[in-house]
Amino acid sequence: MTIRTRFAPSPTGMLHIGGARTALFSWLYARHHGGEFLLRIEDTDRQRSTPEATEVILDGLRWLGLDWDGEPVFQSQRQAEHVMAAEQLIESGHAYRCYCTQDELEAMREAQRAAGRKPMYDGRCRHRSDQPQGKPYVVRFRSPDVGQTVVHDLVLGDVVFDNAELDDLILLRSDGTPTYNLAVVADDAAMGITHVVRGSDHLNNTPRQVQLYQALGLPVPKFAHIPLIHGPDGSKMSKRHGAVAITEYREAGYLPDALVNYLARLGWSHGDEEVFSRDELIELFDLRQVGKTAARFDQQKLDWLNALYLRQANPSSLVDEVLRFLHADIAGGPDLAEVIATLQERSRTLVELADGARFFYVRPEQYDAKAVKKHFREDTWPLLEAFVSAIEDMASFDRERVHEVIRGICEQAGVGMGKLAQPIRILVSGGPVSPPIDKTLELLGRDETLLRIRKGMERLRQGLLS
């Protein structure tokens, strides 16, 4: 049997971090078993579904590297099949037309509430044999009154529902459109889905879906309901807790591999290991190791993983990503991959990395006032002048020689190297933080270094900080 899973988002907004994790688990399960991972866009809510939202979801999945098999299925195009399934159920006696009006339904619920019972449809149209012409009707599922429906969940174990609690579900609305549970069952069956992996917020729908499969004479797939993601305060992860849209993580400079690693560990575990490559995840992932309780989102851990992935990446593989955030023309400047190599160790995100790289391509227009105040003293100027004249005549300008020159000047003046290195750093970068000064200057090159130092000295002497 080929394992076939799916992701079935409703394109009504963004790709939520919880949805992305559901997609990841579903993808991992399929890939682990050499099966297929399909995509179904549940766009039946015509008012709220937009092509833009579909694109955002597809883009997010592509960015995360969650590739799907075949073309996405659009649920709205399968309405005829959904209606056929409802008709089949009417014919087999598992569904019926209900002609109750809103007023009748309201009166019924009112009476149930008054009698202290839970309001639910009482099945009064079940035995109706007439079909009043021109009167609107819905199609309802004739759900069993007694017994239990058990969902054998791969994550949660057996979950038992009393059938008496489930009233006769509407399958087709009075305008003939299918409802969620009918559409999902008809589509999952048609797509040959063997394992339904989804958020545990859908668990209450599942006994109804199981009953529908049985009534339609279809094999019941396996289910795996993934507990939700909570924020640090223990409530459902939402905007209040920070970024929830996958695009926000992308824009904040996270690497897809780091996010995938983080999301995989959010609810799934393998011993106490934290770092997994994509291949390792595929090899090791199993729904049985998904936790039963909600996982808490931990920003620090994500940042830690992102920093780790940044550190370990091949610098050239980051060039395109860094360019997205750099907003600078790199032509004529140092090789970006080399610049990245000097910053990887110290950056948590691509945004930080690009921020640290920018001064290599954009001359500083202003200087951090606090840093200037701290590092520029009377005795700074002669040190800088000595440095300028030393490098003016240098035959070759590389990291070792730059280091030697700075060391020599400071030794002679009897001061620590920071007394010269910090002022140089401020003049070439605008601020007090950069990769090691010798490497920084080597990358900038002698001409650019001289130009920046001269220009900076001139400005600061004129008291121009910004």
18-189-30 Cα angle (round to 5): 50
- Candidates 5-13, 144-152, 157-165, 406-414: pick the segment binding ligand GLU (CB under 6 A): 5-13
Q: How far apart are CA 37 and CA 282, in angstroms?
A: 13
Binding to ligand GLU (CB under 6 A) within 201-260 occurs at: 202
Catalytic residue among 236, 239, 292, 370: 239
Least distance in angstroms from the C-beta of 96 to ligand GLU: 25
118 is catalytic: no
Q: How far is the CB of 198 from ligand GLU (least distance, A)?
A: 4
Question: What is the smallest separation between the CB atom of 52 and ligand GLU, expressed in angstroms?
Answer: 16
Pick between residue 18 and residue 435 the one whose CB is nearest to ligand GLU.
Answer: 18
Q: What's at 135, amino acid-wise?
A: K
| Chosen residue from 8, 20, 39, 443 binding ligand GLU by CB under 6 A | 8
Which token pair is 312? 């370990």
Rounded CA Rg of the chain: 32
Candidates 7-15, 45-53, 111-119, 123-131; binding stretch for ligand GLU (CB under 6 A): 7-15
Q: How far apart are CA 24 and CA 59, in angstroms?
A: 14
The site string for ligand GLU over 171-200 (x = CB under 6 A, - otherwise) reads -------------x-------------x--
Comparing CB distances to ligand GLU, the nearer of 78 and 202 is 202
CA–CA separation, 78 and 174 (whole Å): 18
Q: How many residues bind ligand GLU (CB under 6 A)?
A: 7
End-to-end CA distance of the chain: 69
Separation between Cα atoms, residue 283 and residue 32, nearest integer Å: 6
Site for ligand GLU in 32-71 (CB under 6 A): 42
Q: How far is the CB of 10 from ligand GLU (least distance, A)?
A: 4
Quick one: which of 5, 10, 200, 429 contacts ligand GLU (CB under 6 A)? 10
* Binders of ligand GLU in range 284-303 (CB under 6 A): none
Residues in Cβ contact with 56 at an 8 Å cutoff, skipping those fewer than 6 apart: 11, 14, 15, 247
What CA–CA distances, in Å, run from 323 to 63, 327, 452?
Answer: 16, 7, 23
Closest to ligand GLU by CB, 57 vs 215, is 57
**One of 5, 9, 68, 356 touching ligand GLU (CB under 6 A):** 9
Residues in the chain: 466
- Tell me how far apart the alpha carbons of residues 354 and 55 are, in angstroms, rounded to a whole number: 27
Is there a contact between 344 and 352 (Cβ–Cβ < 8 Å)?
no
Nearer to ligand GLU, 134 or 219 (CB): 219
- The nearest distance, CB 151 to ligand GLU, in angstroms, is 13
215-220 contacts at long range (C-beta below 8 A, 24 or more positions apart): 215/89, 215/92, 215/94, 215/95, 215/141, 216/85, 216/88, 216/89, 216/94, 216/185, 216/186, 216/189, 218/185, 218/189, 219/189
Is the Cβ of residue 64 or residue 302 nearer to ligand GLU in the bound state?
A: 64
Of residues 10 and 429, the one with the C-beta less far from ligand GLU: 10
153 binds ligand GLU (CB under 6 A): no
Give me the least distance between CB of 6 and ligand GLU, in Å please: 8
| Options 6-14, 48-56, 314-322, 365-373: segment touching ligand GLU (CB under 6 A) | 6-14
Q: How far is the CB of 94 from ligand GLU (least distance, A)?
A: 21
Q: Which CB atom, from 73 or from 362, has the smaller least distance to ligand GLU?
A: 73
d(CA 114, CA 106): 12
Classify residue 252 by burial, with Cβ atoms within 10 Å: 0-12, 13-18, 19+: middle
- Binding region for ligand GLU (CB under 6 A): 8-10, 42, 184, 198, 202
Which residues form the catalytic set?
A: 239
